[in-house]
Amino acid sequence: MSSPVFTKLAMTLAPAYTCFSCSWVAVRHGVAWEVRYCRVLFYGMTPSPPPEEVHVTTAFLRASRTFQEIEDPVGFMNEILADPMLLPRRELGELIEVAQGVAPVFHTFYPPETPGAYRMATLRREVPRLRDCVDTPQLDIELLACTTPYDGITDLYSELGLPPDGFADTKPSVLDLTLLPVAHITKRSSLKDGVMHLEIEATSKAPTKGLRVGVKGFKKSGVTRFSVDGETCEWTSAGEHVLGTADVRATDVPIALVTLSLGGEFLHRWWLRDDERTFNSTLDIHRAIDATDVFRSSFFDKHKDDFEERVALLFTLLGATVLSYGKIPRLTDAPDLLVSTAAGQLYVVECTTGDINAKGKLHRLHERTKLIRERLASSPSRPTTVQPVICTSAPRVETMSHWSTARSFGIAIIAMEELSHLMRQLEAPPSADQMVEYAHSLIPSG
């Protein structure tokens, strides 16, 4: 199991890692075991509290989570890269491995479906699972009678920090190696009265001279960009980590995107805002209701019945005016949403959590857009652009079979990845013209 890019990154960061955790679940096949899920996480600093150890044994199932300090991080990283199943193999003995010829996939961010502020680079291998010798209900019964009982396999997966649906019949066997950040920008960083206070927390073994903070500051007059090198920060020791601070001028900057990198490798992104000034007043109002940012953190939760409302709120927070028709029974020929901008662009939007072309959805969107364009052609409010858009909660790759149809109708596809991207822009929304360019880039080509 190898990826040159992941291996290079892993060996660059290895000296800064101090501990790791390994969680795995295996199913018995005769005298051997099939590992259904294995996840190894490398930590630069001991988490608080550290993960509790878990050991589960039944007739047909074994599961474990261990957490250990690393004495020789470079040597241990080499061992894991050479044999990712090293840890479950030590406990289980003979393993059934069907991964020959299956190439791992390097995900720059983790989870790849909905990446967050921290870069958690992951090497993932997925292989078809074997047919179990025992069915899931039997395993659920065994876990209920276990010395440390669990309410079924889903409960066990949740306890181990694995995807709760990871044992489903449709899921493959998965191996994840994840590199957690060895440094991050702390929440004590701030922006106030034209001064940006930066604080970096890093593992004591991280090379602080290689750290760099990049800043993209947003002004009413435009954007300013600069960086602060780690060697210019003031560093102090704080147990198993170090803190670096710097104060820099940021005149007329009410909000800024700050990024942290080590040796040219991105680690973390964060937003700083001056609470006494505003850049997105609509978002400020929204935060009076959603102080903990539940909207973004739960956007892709499995609630199919309110996906349209979530998309409508997202466009509203981006500064657009949204008319919602999807839930009005007598307006059955209307699109789900009409989204207009102050610059005169109009987006005709359909939302779906399933097949983007179910029952000819793309053709209907095309026809509705054409009708709206015709009806507004002689209106004093005639839009400068009328762009059809299909929004889906599915990953973009799952829409590929309909790209030719979308291309022929000029329909932009905003999938999970693009929705995640737009949510990251809320603090400093793109201009109306930038949104038009972005929408056009999402019309499948080629």
pLDDT of residue 278: 67
Closest CA to 12 of 66, 81, 113: 81
Tens of pLDDT, residue by residue over 206-261, are 888 889 999 999 887 788 999 999 999 999 998 888 999 999 999 888 889 999 99
Buried/exposed 1-14: b ≥16 CB within 10 Å, e otherwise: bebeebbebbebbb
β-partners of residue 129 are none
β-partners of residue 121 are 179
CA angle 174, 177, 183 (to 5 degrees): 145
User: Mean pLDDT over residues 89-103, rounded?
Assistant: 78
Closest CA to 73 of 4, 6, 2, 19: 19
Give the C-alpha separation, 171 to 92, whole Å: 22
Give the C-alpha separation, 338 to 380, whole Å: 17
311, 389 Cβ separation under 8 angstroms = no
- Domains in the chain (CATH in brackets) are 4-179 (no CATH), 183-278 (2.60.40.10), 282-441 (3.40.91.50)
Tens of pLDDT, residue by residue over 2-20, are 688 899 889 989 999 999 9
Cβ-based neighbour number of residue 366 at 10 Å:
19
User: Mean pLDDT over residues 369-393, rounded?
Assistant: 91
Amino acid at 201: E
Pairing of strands 173-179, 32-43: parallel
**What's CA 411's distance to the chain center, in Å?**
25
Judged against a pLDDT cut of 70, whether residue 113 lies above it is answered with: no
Mean pLDDT of the chain: 89
Give the C-alpha separation, 315 to 419, whole Å: 10
Give the C-alpha separation, 344 to 433, whole Å: 10
Give the C-alpha separation, 394 to 415, whole Å: 6
> What percent of the chain is helix, strand and coil (3-state, nearest 5)?
30, 35, 40
C-alpha distance from residue 240 to each of 15, 236, 343 (Å): 14, 11, 52
Is this structure's pTM higher than 0.75? no
Tens of pLDDT, residue by residue over 302-355, are 777 889 999 999 999 999 999 999 778 777 778 999 999 988 899 999 999 989
pLDDT of residue 281: 83
Strand order in the sheet with 345-352: 321-324, 337-340, 345-352, 385-392, 412-414
